[in-house]
Amino acid sequence: MKISTEQSELSGEVSVPGSKSHTIRALLLAAMSDGVCKISNPLPSEDCLSTFKALPLIGAQADAKPKLWTVYGAGENLHLPNDVVNVGNSGSLLYFLSPIAATFSGWSVFTGDASIRKRPVHHVVDALSQLGANACTSVPGTSTCPLLIQGPISAKNKITTSGTVSSQYISGLMMAALLLKGTLQIELTDPKETPYLTMTQKWLESVGARVHISADFKHIEVEGPVKIKAFDTTIPSDWEAVAFPLVAALITNSDITIKDIDGSGTQGDDAIVGVLTSLGADIVWDKEAKTLRVRGLKKSSNGIGRLSTENLPGKELHVNLSGYPDAICAVAAIACFTEGTVYIEDISVCRRKETDRIKVLHEELAKLGAVTEEGEDYFVIHGHSPVRVDGSANPEFSLHGASVESYKDHRVAMALACMGLALGKKEKIVVNDAECCAVSFPDFFKVMGGIGAKFYEEHAE
């Protein structure tokens, strides 16, 4: 699907979907529970649906109604996956479920779509091997799926791993510890994406587990086994999804309210609010009402809404995204509309997501006239605001329309599409393979259209 954009002004209220990270954790823990669990406001995205469909493979059952999923936990009947686990495009499912499967005797096989079969699993192989599993990739000399695992693993050995490739397999090991006898100890030499480890810790503690994570995240202990009782939960809104209407409003003449905002602190991506306000963004977060009011350009409180790095040290923004690397696409997009230089740092993990996001952003933003630099673990944007300090048009702002590739990466697609809403009247961005947004934000274009975003599907002649 090709989506074209048009200059837009956004207004009204909008709700974003539930959190993917919370939904997948809830599903797997519910599958491990002994009883019936009800999950309200789950995210019905492709990744979450892949997890939903995988539950029967380990002995659980589930049914879905709008806004409510019910999981009939397997409890003591939880077992080795009885078929090949195809995770689709979900790295979370791959890295979470493979350690859980490794707690059982026998072989399990994990694979996925073309994108998943390019993502590394050598760190999973190494970690599970340290715990006594026989783990390998099916193709000799490769470090990607299909992944083969023969369990069972044991908590007797301590794991030492870097944690740089991803935090997801660490969360998977923490969940697997609930099925093991003894205390699983994990040593991380260079932990990344640490807010997600805290999220997993809170989930495990909510089902009765004893978890300890050191202040520097280098030492983790999880005591098992734990018999999980049935639970009901409501999935909070997804900050990774909040980022896109937030950015779209700030770069257009807009005034919107994003509802049902998660203020629990369990999603590291909420740090984007502080990043954007440091640039002068007009954002009001009412934690009691669970809303974000976002005003951009002429609709901002000062009637100008200029974003700039001029009040920051060295007149540059340095933002470390190691804790929430999925924000790279949204931050890069808004940096193109910011006066000054933005350095996005400590993001080597972004090269191992659905795409090499550093490389893709460098190439696709260049098509729009943006000036960027890429490094192994950093990305630099030399941006310009469309308005001067006095609110007049800035002649140095030169972004323009183009046909761009999403590379079937949902966050790349949403970021590029939002940028198209803020260009000149005669400019448009055409995003190819835009249907991939459904991976994390089903009906993204319809939802955004409800607050005035002009997105159009282009049909082949």
**Is 326 considered catalytic here?**
yes
Give the DSSP letter string of 308-337.
BSTTSGGGEEEEE-SS-GGGHHHHHHHHTT
Report the b/e string of 424-457 with b at 16+ CB within 10 A: eeebbbbbbbbbbbbbbbbebbebbeebbbbbee
Q: Are 217 and 201 within 8 A, CB to CB?
A: no
Residue 28: closest CA among 65, 55, 48, 53? 55
What is the spatial distance between Cα 440 and Cα 411, in angstroms, rounded to a whole number? 8
Contacts of 120 (CB under 8 A, 6+ apart): 143, 144, 165, 352
Q: Are 12 and 452 within 8 A, CB to CB?
A: yes
CA angle 380, 383, 388 (to 5 degrees): 155
Give the DSSP letter string of 31-62.
HHSBSEEEEES---SHHHHHHHHHGGGGT-EE
Sign of the dihedral through C-alpha 87, 88, 93, 98 = positive
What is the spatial distance between Cα 334 and Cα 338, in angstroms, rounded to a whole number? 7
Among residues 47, 269, 326, 409, the one annotated as catalytic is 326
For the record, the structure tokens of 16 come out as 């974003």
Helical (H) or strand (E) element with 129: helix 122-130
Q: What is the 3-state secondary structure (H, E, C) of 271-310?
A: HHHHHHHCCCCEEEEECCCCEEEEECHHHCCCCCCCCECC
| Residue 216 CB burial class (10 angstroms; 0-12, 13-18, ≥19) | exposed
Residue 29: closest CA among 94, 95, 100, 111? 100
Catalytic residues: 326
